């Protein structure tokens, strides 16, 4: 964003940049920065809160009144991620012959379909579609069980895209199942990696891939860097 701000401003466009990482704004010195210490992925701070979003915009646009720059201001409110994972029911075991994550993914399908119908789009689809989620989890389980990763037949061929698709399938379904009216920062991520079999499997397969000697880019980006 800071690079584009420099480029656009030089082309004759006035810019206001929201930054999530203050050090980047300080070092790159784009013309006008409003730094917002909000959960990453929420540059306007709060979902479904027009009043707060307007406050961010008002503070950002006020920087256009400055006569010279660069200028970096900070939004006065800090927002941290929610302390607890999303409260959301995980489907009970249905078919004991299936791996737990595979069984679980089948159980979430109707909720995923409701999410798709409501929103009209889905973030699932870079490596696999929704139909492919259970089979993909089965492949990942095989890797954890010892199948060499190059022989496992990883769907879509890209582990980061695959992990993002599985996570999106779960998180989109979770938003249909939860009673939380407006989930907080990282709450669905916390639920996925800490409460679901699929999330735990992705963390396990990341370790298995590393142990098998897979290159770091193959496994590292399958989950947020702070999770192990």
Partner 1 sequence: MTDQPSGDALIRQQIGNLPVPEFAETAWTVPPPLAEARVAVVTSAALYPCDGEPFTVTDTSYRALDHDQRQLVMGHWSPNFDRSAFGIDYNVVYPLARLDELAEQGVIGSVASKHYAFAGNQPDDVATIRYDSGPACAAELKADGVDVVFLTPV
* 50 vs 92, beta carbon nearer partner 1: 50
When the beta carbons of 19 and 196 are compared against partner 1, the nearer one is 19
> Per CB under 8 A, which of residues 26..45 are in contact with partner 1?
27-31, 39-45
x/- site string to partner 1, residues 9 to 28, per CB under 8 A?
xxxxxxxxxxxxxxxx--xx
Query: What span, in angstroms and rounded, lies between the C-alpha atoms of 212 and 205?
Result: 10
The residue (of 114 and 147) whose beta carbon lies closer to partner 1 is 114
Nearer to partner 1, 103 or 192 (CB): 192
Scan residues 51-90 and list those touching partner 1 (CB under 8 A). Answer: 53-54, 57, 60-61, 64, 68-70, 80-81, 83
d(C-alpha 102, C-alpha 96), whole Å: 10
Kindly provide the b/e burial profile for residues 179-209, where b requires at least 16 CB atoms within 10 angstroms of the residue's own CB: ebeebbbbbbbbbbbebbbbbebbbbbbebb
Number of Cα atoms under 13 Å in the Cβ half of residue 58:
7
DSSP state of 72: E
Is 216 a binder of partner 1 (CB under 8 A)? no
Number of residues engaging partner 1 in binding (CB under 8 A): 87
Q: How many CB atoms lie within 10 A of CB 48?
A: 9
Round to whole Å and give the CA distance between 191 and 188.
Answer: 5
Residue 171 within binding range of partner 1, rule CB under 8 A: yes
Q: Could you tell me the smallest distance in angstroms from the CB atom of residue 129 to partner 1?
A: 13
Select from 94-102, 129-137, 139-147, 182-190 the region that touches partner 1 (CB under 8 A): 182-190
Q: Where are the alpha helices (DSSP H) in 38-77?
A: 50-62
Give helix 100-107 / helix 197-211 axis angle, nearest 10°.
Answer: 140
The smaller minimum CB distance to partner 1, of residues 92 and 226, is found at: 226
Contact track, partner 1, 95-124, x by CB under 8 A: --------------------x---xxxxx-
């Amino acid at each position: 964003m800071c690079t584009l701000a420099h480029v656009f401003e030089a082309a004759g466009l006035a810019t206001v940049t929201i930054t999530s990482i203050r050090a980047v704004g300080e070092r790159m010195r784009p013309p006008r920065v409003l730094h917002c210490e909000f959960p990453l992925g929420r540059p306007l701070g709060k979902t479904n809160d027009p009043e707060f979003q307007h406050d961010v915009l008002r503070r950002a646009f006020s920087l256009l009144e400055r006569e010279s720059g660069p200028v970096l201001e900070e939004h006065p409110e800090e927002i941290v991620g929610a302390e607890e994972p999303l409260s959301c029911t995980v489907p009970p075991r249905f078919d004991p012959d299936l791996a737990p994550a595979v069984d679980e993914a089948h159980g979430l399908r109707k909720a995923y379909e409701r999410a798709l119908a409501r929103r009209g789009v889905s973030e699932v689809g870079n490596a696999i579609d929704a139909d492919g989620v259970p089979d993909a989890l089965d492949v990942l389980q095989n890797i954890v069980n010892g199948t060499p990763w190059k022989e496992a037949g990883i769907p879509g061929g890209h582990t980061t895209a695959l992990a993002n698709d599985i996570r999106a399938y779960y998180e989109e379904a979770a938003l249909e199942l939860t009673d939380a009216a407006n989930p907080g920062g990282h709450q669905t991520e916390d639920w996925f990696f800490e409460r679901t079999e699929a999330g735990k499997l992705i963390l396990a397969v990341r370790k298995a891939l590393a142990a098998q000697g897979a290159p770091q880019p193959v496994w590292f980006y399958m989950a947020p860097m702070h999770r192990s």
